[in-house]
A = this chain, B = another copy of it.
Amino acid sequence: MLRNLLMTLSYDGTRYFGFQTQPDGNTVQDQLEAAIRQLTGEEVKIHGSGRTDAGVHARGQTFHFQTSSQIPVERWRHALNGRLPYDIRITDAVEVPLEFHSRRSAKRKTYRYSINGNRVFDVFEQPYQLHHPGYLDVMAMREGLAYLIGTHDYTSFASRHSTKQSHVRTIYEARIEVDPGKEGAGSHEQGIIHIYITGNGFLQHMVRIIVGTLLQVGEGKRLPEEMGRILEAKDRAAAGPTAESKGLMLWKVEYNELRDFLAVSDNTLS
């Protein structure tokens, strides 16, 4: 009997060419499929909730796949982790209805982008933060970010290589949190600036282009209200540069309560 499993995982993207399988090789998906093959002997294709670019990390990525293996669901996490490299960890595994899809069933996705605003970067965090020791006006960045909330055509904040038919997405929430940083930090220390953006889906490079543009607002090169005009322009050239991938992390993917989902799927079946 075929079963559908939904797994949550974390990975350090530093060593990988992104999440999704591609001709050039070493991706997180390749590692996951190899681990499943080792465990079950099955040639399985997994489906991620979305791609992440080379060098982008994930705290709460999800994927699903169908298997005829009868290994109980509570055993999968441990069994796969024993077959995965140290920088990829399954954190949760649940069985879901066959029609459940990690991307199409997702309700909200949150990304976090982290900027180290201190003079010296932290050696333990440097693979996960953009280093920006120059002054940033965080209040102006907050003001600029607010223009992006809502349902809009985000063409200005999408890669020119985007192949999506529609660039309309909804950003539900966007906020900036500042962690004032370490004990003994000097007066020029800005701490760690985390930008969280939650939406129903994201276009290629969308978060990184938003951050690259917000950095220009923080540097005083653009006014906060330009964010609204950039959005209206529907032109990639209107926005700022694409921020480095290493500061980006897929923070979480949210679904309806599985209980609700099962209720809906029971209705569908009845």
Contacts and interface: CB of A to CB of B under 8 A. Distances in A.
A86 B126 contact: yes
A123 interface: yes
Interface stretch (A88-96, A146-154, A166-174, A260-268): A88-96
Interface of A: 10-12, 57, 59, 77, 81, 86-91, 119-124, 126, 128
B122 A10 contact: yes
A123 B90 contact: no
B120 A90 contact: yes
B88 A123 contact: yes
Quickly give the copy total for this chain.
Answer: 2
Contacts of A90: 120
A29 to B, nearest CB: 16
Identify whether the interface residues of A are mostly helix, strand, loop, or mixed. mixed
A123 B86 contact: yes
20 contacts: A10-B122, A10-B123, A10-B124, A11-B123, A12-B123, A12-B124, A57-B124, A59-B124, A77-B120, A81-B120, A86-B123, A86-B126, A87-B123, A87-B126, A88-B123, A89-B120, A89-B121, A90-B120, A91-B120, A124-B128
In the A-B complex, the 6 residue pairs with the closest CB atoms: A10-B123, A12-B123, A91-B120, A89-B123, A87-B123, A89-B120
Nearest to A9: B123
A120 B12 CA distance: 14
